Structure 1
Amino acid sequence: MIRLYILLAIVFLIYCKSNQQKKKEKEANSFHDQAYAYRNAYKTDSAFIFFAKAKELFLQRKDSIGVANCLVNSAIISTNIGDYFGGQELSLDALSYLNTEKKEDQAYLHSNYNNLAIASERLRNYEEAIKFYDLAIKFATDSSAILLYLNNKANAYQGAKQYKNALNIYNKLLHRTNNDQTAYARVLSNIAITKWQLNQNYNALPELRKALYIRQKENDLWGLNSSYDYITDYYVKHDIDSTLHYAKKMLANAQQLNSADDQLFALQKLIKFSPKPDRDTYFERYLTLDDSLQTARNLAKNRFALIKFETEKHKSDNLVLQKQNSEKTYQIIIITTVSLLVLILGAFWYRKRQQHLKITAEKTIKENQLRTSKKVHDVVANGLYRVMAEIENEDQLDKDRILDKIEVMYEKSRDISYDQEMDNLNNFHETLNRLLSSFKSSNVEIKIKGNTRALWRKVSTKVLYEVEHILQELMVNMAKHSQATSVSLTFEHNQQEITIHYRDNGVGLIKGIEFKNGLTNTGTRINNISGSITFDTQTERGLAIHISFPIS
């Protein structure tokens, strides 16, 4: 029954865990899909929030690639709103969940490194940006992505004024973009301006105009912005009117793109090269736009900081709640486990207790049986043998004395299950003399030496009782088996020990003889009084036995 309870508890826990896992997977997919929907609709605030929610559920599922996906998307959003440090932080966090050895992780790795490079480049850390672009190229597998990252790397070299390195990359890219007019125009425009930056006397205008023409034809508005910017810079030293013309085109195109940064770049050029009245107008526009842009970016940063704070707070609250729930679960598990253990241990203890009681009862019964058997043997069997010996060896049978002895045996047999105190302890030497002498006959001579009152004065009642029955057993065995005609018993007192020397001239111990209950009981009795018994079989004829035991 206990095993059944344990099995049911385990199945219940597994069932709950399975249901929780399915629920988590459903919620995680829902948050993730919603985050992508908001991102594609350019609702960056909502996208950021749902990517954070999806990340937490991916964490609970221990889905590392799901966590990385959410972090990379959140990092790109942060970088795009101008929170470059926040974007870098999220991208670096994403790296801890990506494995460079796994092919499925590589798409996230190259996008993540590209975001780190862009954020570093915007912070004017070009050397760091170049390293991150190299890593993005290393893990990119799509050719168009590789071309984009190479172009970005060349731009970083250009920003670092390492024009030769930039030009080497642009020249390689030019031959790989023949089938993509937009990419070709971008590389051609970059080559032209880089050559001009290396050599101010270089005529970059034909290549810049060719790139401009392609972009106009392809309606590449972002590319047009770049072309207007490069041509404006080139005309600064050649034709101020052309500089202003293309700067105004850049401003109009940037307004169409709603690119505040590109509008500011165009206004900077117009402020620098326009005449006084127009310059003041452009300056006012610049201040207003710059102020609005900084305010918007600060608000965006603050908004995203607040979103991060709320997300972390929600995460912290969830962790606290999970901890509390876990603690409650653990308490329930511990209580259940302890209860089960108590039941198991209680059942085990009860079973062992019953076994112990049964064994103890059986042992007690057996001991009582043995003790009763010994008493029957001592009182009845040996007593009867003594009476029989006296009847056999007496010439004049004293009927009354024999009847008295039989009556004594009868009384003792009635109380055989009770422990009786010995009588006449002060005359124990006389009791022994009568016992030993009772085995005397016309054919058997009994000699007793050293059995005095003083010898037994300090011996306990228990020992006296055992000694009497030990000697009775020896004498009975002598009469039954030894065929002896002469028996001597010598009692000695040596310091704190009494020794009894028994000797007869009988047949001795027969080889292979089995000890019956009598001799077995004798050995037990000697052990009870912490004594020892020695059979001396080296005598020429008969048997010698030495018994010794402490006085107290």
Structure 2
Amino acid sequence: MKYLHIYLISIAFFSCSKKKAEEISKIENPYYYRAYDFYAEHVRDSAFLNFSRAEEVFKDNKDSTGVANSLVIMAIIQNQQADYFGAQETALEALNYLSTQDPDHFETLSNNFNNLGSATGELGEMDKAITFYNEAIKFSADSNNVRTYLNNIALLYQDKEDYPRAISIYESILKSPDLDSVEFARVLTNYATAMWQYRANYNPIPELKYALDIRKKEKDMWGQNSSYAHLADYYAKINPDSSLYFAKRQYALAKEIDSPKDQVKALKRLIRLNPVDSIPTYFATYQQLSDSIQQARAAARNQFALIRYEVEKNKSENLKLQKDNAETTNRLIGLSITFALLGAGSILWYKKRKQRLELETQNKIKASHLKTSRKVHDVVANGIYRVMTEIEHKDDIDRNGILDRLEDMYHKSRDISYEAEKIERVDQPFNQEITNLLQSFAGRHQKIIIAGNDPELWQSVKANVQQEIKHVLQELLVNMKKHSQAENVVIRFSMVHHDLHIHYKDDGVGLPVEMKRGNGLVSTGNRIKNICGDITFASEPGKGLRVEVIIPTL
């Protein structure tokens, strides 16, 4: 029944938010209006996708209220689809765009905190959930919503077995003069349940049946489902036959309202109460339904993550296209100017060439020193850090494998002193080698998503370039583990017009403005330059790091 409470409040919030959406021009942000149509048709994935796209449009227009509304509704959809961690993350992100001092934001803040309380409660963090519900009450001007939030707080106290506090809240709600019959039946059911859980000799049957009669009269199917569940629980020890009767009624009603979660709870009661010969049938249904619920939840989590990733990817590609168009225009202008200055430039070219040759001679001397130090950094330091990362995050440690890698690093470090640099030879395809390298940095708190790492991608990339790319990726992930505090990392590979594109993005703390690049990032830039590539770092403190690498393959 907690889900239903959130659903009813969400409907009210959607209705109010859609009025605001009608004030927004379809030309300015068509995704926002379209998202409501999909939600009304119960097409949750399309609604989530369009709200995600609307969020990006609002960000481009610097409309913080529009961004907040989009994120709040996206979090509600994730909560309804049982993606509780995703709902928490999205709802907390929405708070960055809302002001606790602006009355126009109070309604959105209230609904967002209510959703946070629901998702957090489902994850078992009851004290935090109570805090979020209290915040929802603070920003709500709707007495009906306030009573629902109080009811949810009382349910959490019940779960914590703090029955006196839960009972006190229920009693205060029941005294409200404007309580409608459906809400009265819901609170009365919860009150009676809390009383018999608190006092073993308390008889809740008159109140439970009175609430059930109200729900039947009001045709409140979800409410009847709740009543049958509470009656079955109460009779479980004192009258198993009555308990079995109400459990069967609840199971039938849960199927009628299409609530898999309540069906599973009813089946657990039926397995416990039925004769032994009836248990296998119920158990098989219970197991099948439980598995399907878990699969649906996992699919929802992955689906929402992929939607947000695709929206981010499309935005990045659009920005790159704009950049390419601007570069083409600038190139044409520059070409015209070049022809005009070609004569005078010939003399300057001769002088510059002479200076460049002298500079190259000096750089070769420096490069010979940098080459050795870079080998030590890449082969020894990063190799040891990778082994440390695997030991830290893997429960079953491959002792022999780790010893083999340490021995390999020993031989490589010895070869450095003789300047015997060798290109690594592996028996597995290079794309699999890249996958193994990247996934070795994943841990309990870091998720790494890899896209586009196909065998065909690497066929046109030279072996020496492949090794440089491997060292660059390793350096980026070592820096991520050491400094970024990121939880999610996305690395995407693609081939565009014979240019290899590597897109790196994490949600860590980013690079502080005042921070100087360490030896690792400087070495990374030098490596890309040496293979005629281009690397761009984009970061704002607290908003993660983005890295774009472009390497020609011809």
Please classify the TM superposition score into its range, dividing by the shorter chain length: 0.5 to 0.7
- Displacement after TM superposition at 1:27 (Å): 3.6
**Which residue is equivalent to 1:58?**
58
Tell me the SS of whatever aligns to 2:124: coil
Superposed counterparts of 1:163-178, under 5 Å: 163-176=163-176
- 1: distance between equivalents of 2:196 and 2:173? 18
**Which residue is equivalent to 1:143?**
143
Tell me the SS of whatever aligns to 2:238: coil
**Which residue is equivalent to 1:259?**
259
> Contact 2:29–2:57 (CA<8 Å) still a contact in 1?
no
Tell me the alpha carbon deviations over residues 54-95 of structure 1, each in whole angstroms, 9 at most, x when there is no partner: 111111111100010100010010111111010011001100
Tell me the SS of whatever aligns to 1:141: coil
Superposed counterparts of 1:356-371, under 5 Å: none
- 2: distance between equivalents of 1:177 and 1:262? 32
Tell me the SS of whatever aligns to 1:304: helix
Tell me the SS of whatever aligns to 1:161: coil
**Which residue is equivalent to 1:38?**
38
- 1: distance between equivalents of 2:77 and 2:121? 16
Highest relative contact order (Cα 8 Å, sep 6+), 1 or 2? Answer: 2
> Contact 2:91–2:112 (CA<8 Å) still a contact in 1?
yes
Paired letter, 1:123: L
- Displacement after TM superposition at 1:317 (Å): 2.0
**Which residue is equivalent to 2:157?**
157
> Contact 1:120–1:126 (CA<8 Å) still a contact in 2?
yes
- 2: distance between equivalents of 1:125 and 1:221? 29
- Displacement after TM superposition at 1:152 (Å): 1.1
- 1: distance between equivalents of 2:87 and 2:300? 13
**Which residue is equivalent to 1:124?**
124
- 1: distance between equivalents of 2:200 and 2:327? 73
Identity in percent: 46
**Which residue is equivalent to 1:241?**
241
Tell me the SS of whatever aligns to 1:301: helix
Task: Mark the CA change 1:146 to 1:325 in structure 2 (over 3 Å): closer, same or farther.
Answer: farther
Q: Structure 1 residue runs of 4+, over 4 Å off?
A: 322-329
- Displacement after TM superposition at 1:314 (Å): 1.5
- Displacement after TM superposition at 1:321 (Å): 3.5
Task: Mark the CA change 1:179 to 1:125 in structure 2 (over 3 Å): closer, same or farther.
Answer: closer
Task: Mark the CA change 1:75 to 1:177 in structure 2 (over 3 Å): closer, same or farther.
Answer: farther
- 1: distance between equivalents of 2:149 and 2:311? 33
TM-score (norm 1): 0.54
> Contact 2:110–2:136 (CA<8 Å) still a contact in 1?
yes
- Displacement after TM superposition at 1:179 (Å): 4.1
Tell me the SS of whatever aligns to 2:60: helix
- Displacement after TM superposition at 1:301 (Å): 2.2
> Contact 1:208–1:227 (CA<8 Å) still a contact in 2?
yes
**Which residue is equivalent to 2:67?**
67
**Which residue is equivalent to 1:287?**
287
- 2: distance between equivalents of 1:158 and 1:327? 64
> Contact 1:229–1:250 (CA<8 Å) still a contact in 2?
yes
- Displacement after TM superposition at 1:300 (Å): 2.4
- Displacement after TM superposition at 1:322 (Å): 4.5
- For the pair shown, which has the larger CA radius of gyration, 1 or 2? 1
> Contact 2:117–2:130 (CA<8 Å) still a contact in 1?
yes
- 2: distance between equivalents of 1:222 and 1:173? 20
Task: Mark the CA change 1:199 to 1:324 in structure 2 (over 3 Å): closer, same or farther.
Answer: farther
- 2: distance between equivalents of 1:117 and 1:75? 12
Superposed counterparts of 1:260-339, under 5 Å: 260-324=260-324
Aligned length: 315
> Contact 1:177–1:184 (CA<8 Å) still a contact in 2?
no
**Which residue is equivalent to 1:508?**
none
- 2: distance between equivalents of 1:48 and 1:177? 39
> Contact 1:177–1:183 (CA<8 Å) still a contact in 2?
no
- Displacement after TM superposition at 1:204 (Å): 0.9
1:199 aligns to 2:199 (yes or no):
yes
**Which residue is equivalent to 1:109?**
109
Tell me the alpha carbon deviations over residues 201-243 of structure 1, each in whole angstroms, 9 at most, x when there is no partner: 1111111111111111111111111111111111012100000
1:189 aligns to 2:175 (yes or no):
no
Tell me the SS of whatever aligns to 1:236: helix
**Which residue is equivalent to 2:29?**
29
- Displacement after TM superposition at 1:30 (Å): 1.6
Task: Mark the CA change 1:314 to 1:274 in structure 2 (over 3 Å): closer, same or farther.
Answer: same
Q: Which moved more, 1:260-269 or 1:36-45?
A: 36-45
- 1: distance between equivalents of 2:140 and 2:322? 40
Tell me the alpha carbon deviations over residues 10-52 of structure 1, each in whole angstroms, 9 at most, x when there is no partner: xxxxxxxxxxxxxx96444321110011111111011001001
**Which residue is equivalent to 1:97?**
97
Tell me the SS of whatever aligns to 2:237: coil
Paired letter, 1:70: S
**Which residue is equivalent to 1:79?**
79
> Contact 2:26–2:33 (CA<8 Å) still a contact in 1?
no
Tell me the SS of whatever aligns to 1:310: helix
Tell me the SS of whatever aligns to 2:101: coil
- 1: distance between equivalents of 2:264 and 2:197? 22
- 1: distance between equivalents of 2:29 and 2:220? 36
- Displacement after TM superposition at 1:160 (Å): 1.8
User: What 5-or-longer segments of structure 2 have no aligned partner?
Assistant: 1-23, 338-554
- 2: distance between equivalents of 1:177 and 1:126? 29
TM-score (norm 2): 0.54
- Displacement after TM superposition at 1:294 (Å): 1.6
> Contact 1:55–1:70 (CA<8 Å) still a contact in 2?
yes
- 1: distance between equivalents of 2:328 and 2:100? 40
**Which residue is equivalent to 1:223?**
223
- 1: distance between equivalents of 2:64 and 2:256? 41
Paired letter, 2:319: L
Tell me the alpha carbon deviations over residues 502-524 of structure 1, each in whole angstroms, 9 at most, x when there is no partner: xxxxxxxxxxxxxxxxxxxxxxx
- 2: distance between equivalents of 1:284 and 1:78? 29
**Which residue is equivalent to 1:48?**
48
> Contact 1:225–1:250 (CA<8 Å) still a contact in 2?
yes
- 2: distance between equivalents of 1:198 and 1:275? 30
- 2: distance between equivalents of 1:57 and 1:260? 37
> Contact 1:35–1:48 (CA<8 Å) still a contact in 2?
yes
Tell me the SS of whatever aligns to 1:101: coil
